[in-house]
Amino acid sequence: LSLLLALSLLSPRGSAAWSCPPRCVCASNLLSCSQANLSAVPAPLPRFAAVLDLSHNNVSRLRADWAPARLPHLHALLLSHNGLAFVSTEAFAHVPRLRHLDLSSNRLRTLDENLFSDLGELEVLLLYNNEISTVDRTAFENLGRLRKLYLGQNRIARFPLELLREGTRLPQLALLDLSANRLRAVPAGELQALPAWLRDRLYLHNNPLACDCPLFQLLDRGHRRHLSAVVDFQDELRCVLPGAPAPIKILALAGQQPLNCSKAQEAVLEAHLGDSVTLGCDSRWQGVRSRHWVTPGGERVLGDGGNGSVVLLANGSLQLRALRPEDAGTYACWVAGPLLNETLYVELLVHNFTLHGPHDTLNTAYTTLVGCILSVVLVLIYLYLTPCRCCCCRGAEKPPAPRDDSINSSVLSTTPNHAAGTGEPCGSHIATSAGTGQNGRFKGGGTPPLPARQGPKAQRKVSDPDSVSSVFSDTPIV
């Protein structure tokens, strides 16, 4: 048995399986073929190789057969500084355990469809310092474990928002470098909705961004939160103003013309009485060990509070139900991170429903109803409670008008004009067969002119007893 084992080790097949490729340096399972002036990947490669360094060579094309046999232990492949211009979509079929792939400083121009779909365990992908201008939407499919993606120093002009939206494409992505590209606009609103731990590693500096207030507010919030992507590169974060001779610092846009951007308040939430709100604990740490909330009254919230109106959710957010005036104030979220602790503050403003928000419609309805009631009351007072204007007529009973005069009365008739002369005392009711009515028209059963009366009240006019008062009458209300 010992003789057979010795022969197998000395055989050409056995020696080739364990030999180091030409112009490479091997140390255990590490193969370094850097700066060896190689134009192709050396062969054969040992199956036990875990790290393969092919940087600083002349490998311009990576075909599907560069690894004819499966390399189950290879977890790091370095191909930077090779002038690499083509990568086959099947180039990584034999290295499924790859976790680190370096394709930086090459001449790649496009990332084709499903280019990295075979690398389900990839965690770090370096593509910076290439000539990439086109990125297929499916180029990063199936990269469920990718944590760091470096796309800086390329020619990308469209922000790849599909990599970040809803966390479905790259759910574990914690760093995205898009610096030194050709981005002219970024979706500031959607980026603000991202978790703080991802915004802390979203690099946008050295891009020809157009100046606007949403961009300023996005970066200003990051600066106040001490996000490293903003604080470390605040001098390189510049934007272009129309007509300006040179780009200006984005963080210097506050109060400057022509935009005159204002700083947005950090974590201020407005609500109304009876509403339900959720206060987010937007920490920039991943892998949080523990967190808890402290209410404005100093009470610590670890779970359901009181009658269930305060609930600590599984994601660390605090939910308040059926808001009351005493719920307003500043809430603090204490986060115990893997390295440091962090405290976040959220100010809650609770408005009365009669003052703000959609409840204004109800307030207007009440006002309209009260106005209608008052109008009806005033009309009733006018119709039934108007006093007699003549002292001698109080208590006097007016005889009914002849039935023949009903044709001349109407609810729309106005009070007839009276003669300028004096009249008889209102106790005399002598009807004549004919008389002249308003505007010179004939009026049957009218009141004749009364004789003159002495005294200061001689000029007082007498109303026509046969006319009917209405809401259109010009008689004043006493």
Query: How large is the C-alpha radius of gyration of the chain?
Result: 45
Higher model confidence: residue 235 or residue 369? 235
Question: When comparing pLDDT for 354 and 149, which is higher?
Answer: 149
**Confidence class for position 156, pLDDT limits 50, 70, 90:** very high
Residue 46 has pLDDT above 80, yes or no: yes
SS3 state of residue 167: helix
Per DSSP bridges, beta strands 25-27 and 134-135 are unpaired
Which pLDDT belongs to residue 61?
94
- Residue 379 pLDDT grade (very low, low, confident, very high; cuts 50, 70, 90): confident
Q: The domain 269-351 belongs to what CATH superfamily?
A: Immunoglobulins (2.60.40.10)
Residue 52 structure tokens: 């393969």
The answer on pLDDT for 193 being more than 70 is yes
pLDDT for position 90: 92
Contact 57, 35 (CB under 8 A): yes
Q: How many CB atoms are located within 10 Å of the residue 204 CB? A: 26
For residue 324, what pLDDT band results from cuts at 50, 70 and 90? confident
pLDDT for position 284: 67
Sorting pLDDT into bands at 50, 70 and 90, what band is 168?
low
Boundaries of every domain in the chain:
269-351
Q: How far is CA 2 from CA 7, 9, 16, 23, 77, in A?
A: 9, 11, 21, 33, 38
d(C-alpha 52, C-alpha 39), whole Å: 15
Coil, strand or helix: which one is 404? helix
Read off the pLDDT of each residue in 133-138 and give the average, rounded to a whole number.
90
pLDDT, tens only, 357-367:
444 445 566 67
Contact indicator for 179, 153 with CB cutoff of 8 Å: yes
Q: What Cα–Cα distance (Å) separates residue 322 from each residue in 197, 207, 276, 325? A: 31, 46, 6, 10
Whether omega before 44 lies within 30 degrees of 0, making that bond cis, reads yes
For residues 30-55, give the mean pLDDT: 92
Q: How confident is the model at residue 308 (pLDDT cuts 50, 70, 90)?
A: low
**Residues contacting residue 410 through CB under 8 Å, at least 6 positions apart:** 468
Q: What CA–CA distance (Å, rounded) separates 149 from 104?
A: 11
Q: Calculate the average pLDDT of the chain.
A: 76
**Cα 371 from Cα 476, distance rounded (Å):** 22
Q: Which residues pair with 334 in a beta bridge?
A: 292, 343
How large a percentage of the chain has pLDDT more than 90?
Answer: 32
